[in-house]
Amino acid sequence: MYSEKVMDLFRHPKNIGEIKDADAVGKVGNPTCGDLMWVYLKVGKNKTGEEVIDDIKVKTFGCVAAIATSSALTEIVKGMKLAEAEKITRENVADYVGGLPPAKLHCSVLAVDGLQKAIEEYKKKKKK
């Protein structure tokens, strides 16, 4: 049912845990299945002064697809410009893991929503 990549990321998830001095944390949940996810962000600047994701970690209490896609998300956006990371879609994440069964597509939404929430929080804090 799952691709090799999904199973690999589920068995050996990357960037799991918390960032103690995170610039922002995005917490999201899926009310239907009860799965929960926290996305921790550390933002820095590149040589041209653009904001980039220096570090990202996730904590996921969820299904195989939720764990695999949140781990995939961290691999995709680590080092990416913040402005580009904002445009990541659930399709990007699902493609990265070699596709998801239709019934599990919604699980990749959690990771993308968590990232968007963390970015939103980061921007709000910056304004203060």
Residues that bind ligand FES (CB under 6 A): 30, 33, 35, 62-63, 65-66, 107, 110
Residue 3 or 30: the one with the smaller Cβ distance to ligand FES is 30
Residue 76 or 107: the one with the smaller Cβ distance to ligand FES is 107
Angstrom distance (rounded) from CA 62 to CA 13 = 13
Coil vs helix vs strand at 128: coil
Catalytic residue among 107, 110, 112, 118: 107
Specify whether 63 is catalytic. Answer: no
Residue 43 or 112: the one with the smaller Cβ distance to ligand FES is 112
Whole-number Cα distances in Å, 9 to 14, 20, 31, 45, 72: 7, 23, 24, 29, 7
Specify whether 33 is catalytic. Answer: yes
Whole-number Cα distances in Å, 113 to 64, 99, 110: 17, 18, 5
Catalytic residue among 1, 18, 33, 91: 33
List, by residue number, the catalytic residues. Answer: 33, 107
